[in-house]
């Protein structure tokens, strides 16, 4: 088996590491940076704290960031960066903030809209501003990946853009920043960590380094996500989930995600189900299907590496975990019509589906959505 591994992001991990931001910026050797964060961090005072700690090196702030960030928000942020002459970017937030920042950091260097590159396959310009990613959820792992997932509400399209430009220069991972995540954000982002580990492992692009990372991250999620959900100030649980998140990011960055992520995009776009919850909704189903149809036993091997008897036992444990942390296990409440189910099946044929270890046919997708919508 041939494989390559490359990871260009410098990772700085530990409680209180946000206070090292000034030294990190000094290493970059730039001035006049922009802080990109969610509106809630301007209200909570965290944005001001970071600006003060940067001692004059952050001269602009952009905080108009929606969950599932919009192409129009990327363009607005890039316009502000051009106007302010920003030379580097600090992204303080969850996957939404980091993804918007990645795209804006490239598009700000040219006078274009990100729409030209969103879902079009057109290669991004080669120029970009350096990015320091500071995740506040555990999480998407976006701080170590070269992908930005953006939405275009006009066309109804949510799609990832890949570019080597998008790798942050630094990831400052401070678990204490996640303490303020409400339980629902902890649950949704935490189940995303599990999906990324599992999908990175069973992806057709799997490789040994990412395999080892995926097993490590998934074990941590099973142990610590319920604790972080129940007690947001459990320092060990938050630290271990932050570790799981960044390691799961490394685990899927090269193999890429598969079936659960492919199916999640229409569930988020059409029905507003948060990203992680939408991915988690189908991961137990796909664990069973993949284990049943695969020929190389990798799903069973992953389950055993985590201490489960087999893949169905792992799937049961995932379902139990979702119930424990208040996540959806079905779509019954949406009362979907046949036409809506047809649409979901059609839109689930996202390119990520091709990374799945077994072919996911329409029959399988109808069975999946039939199971999720079945009224008892």
Q: In the complex, which residues of this chain contact ligand NAD (CB under 6 A)?
A: 38, 40, 67-68, 93-97, 99, 136-137, 139-142, 145, 147-149, 177-178, 180-181, 185, 188-189, 192, 275-276
Rounded to a whole number of angstroms, the minimum distance from the CB of residue 246 to ligand NAD is 11
Give dist(CA 274, CA 271) in Å, integer: 9
Helix axes 298-305, 311-324, angle to 10 degrees: 60
* Nearer Cβ to ligand NAD (175/311): 175
Structure tokens, 14: 């530990």
Size of the chain, expressed as the number of residues it contains: 376
Rounded to a whole number of angstroms, the minimum distance from the CB of residue 147 to ligand NAD is 4
* Nearer Cβ to ligand NAD (140/163): 140
* Nearer Cβ to ligand NAD (275/298): 275
* Nearer Cβ to ligand NAD (178/203): 178
Rounded to a whole number of angstroms, the minimum distance from the CB of residue 209 to ligand NAD is 18
Helix axes 275-293, 183-202, angle to 10 degrees: 30
Give dist(CA 292, CA 316) in Å, integer: 15
Tell me whether residue 346 is exposed, middle or buried, using C-beta atoms within 10 angstroms of its C-beta: 0 to 12, 13 to 18, 19 or more: exposed
Rounded to a whole number of angstroms, the minimum distance from the CB of residue 201 to ligand NAD is 16
* Nearer Cβ to ligand NAD (100/311): 100
* Nearer Cβ to ligand NAD (300/328): 328
Those residues whose C-beta lies under 8 Å from the C-beta of residue 365, and which sit 6 or more positions away, are 263, 344, 345, 348
Rounded to a whole number of angstroms, the minimum distance from the CB of residue 38 to ligand NAD is 4
Rounded to a whole number of angstroms, the minimum distance from the CB of residue 343 to ligand NAD is 20
Q: In angstroms, what CA-CA distances link 73 with 84, 87, 115? A: 17, 19, 11
Identify the CA nearest to 90 among candidates 148, 137, 130. Answer: 130
């Amino acid at each position: 088996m041939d494989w390559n591994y490359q990871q260009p992001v410098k990772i700085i991990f530990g409680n209180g590491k946000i206070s090292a931001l000034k030294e990190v910026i000094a290493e970059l050797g730039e001035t006049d940076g922009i802080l990109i964060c969610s509106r809630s961090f301007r209200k909570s005072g965290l944005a001001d704290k970071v600006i003060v700690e940067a001692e004059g090196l952050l001269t602009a702030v952009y905080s108009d960031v929606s969950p599932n960030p919009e192409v129009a928000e990327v363009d607005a942020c890039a316009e502000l960066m051009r106007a302010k002459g920003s030379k580097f970017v600090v992204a303080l937030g969850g996957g939404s903030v980091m993804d918007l920042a990645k795209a804006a950091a490239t598009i700000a260097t040219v006078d274009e809209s990100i729409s030209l590159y969103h879902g079009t396959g057109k290669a991004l310009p080669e120029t970009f501003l350096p990015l320091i990613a500071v995740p506040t959820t555990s999480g998407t792992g976006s701080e170590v990946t070269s992908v930005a997932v953006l939405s275009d509400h006009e066309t109804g399209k949510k799609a990832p853009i890949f570019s080597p430009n998008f790798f942050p220069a630094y990831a400052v991972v401070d678990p204490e920043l996640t303490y303020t995540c409400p339980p629902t954000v902890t649950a949704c982002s935490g189940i995303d960590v599990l999906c990324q580990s599992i999908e990175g492992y069973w992806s057709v692009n799997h490789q040994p380094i990412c395999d080892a990372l995926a097993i490590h991250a998934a074990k941590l999620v099973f142990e610590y996500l319920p604790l972080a959900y129940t007690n947001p100030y459990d320092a060990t649980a938050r630290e271990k989930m932050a570790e799981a998140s960044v390691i799961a990011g490394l685990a899927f960055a090269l193999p890429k995600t598969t079936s659960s992520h492919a199916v999640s995009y229409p569930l988020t776009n059409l029905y507003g189900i948060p990203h992680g919850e939408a991915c988690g909704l189908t991961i137990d189903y796909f664990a069973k299907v993949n284990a049943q149809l695969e020929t190389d036993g990798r799903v069973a091997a992953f389950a055993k590496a985590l201490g489960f008897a087999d893949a169905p036992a792992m799937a049961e444990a995932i379902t139990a975990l979702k119930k424990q942390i208040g996540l959806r296990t079905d779509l019954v409440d949406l009362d979907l019509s046949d036409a809506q189910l047809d649409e979901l099946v059609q839109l689930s044929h996202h390119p990520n589906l091709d990374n799945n270890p077994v072919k996911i046919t329409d029959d399988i997708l109808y069975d999946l959505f039939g199971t999720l919508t079945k009224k008892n």
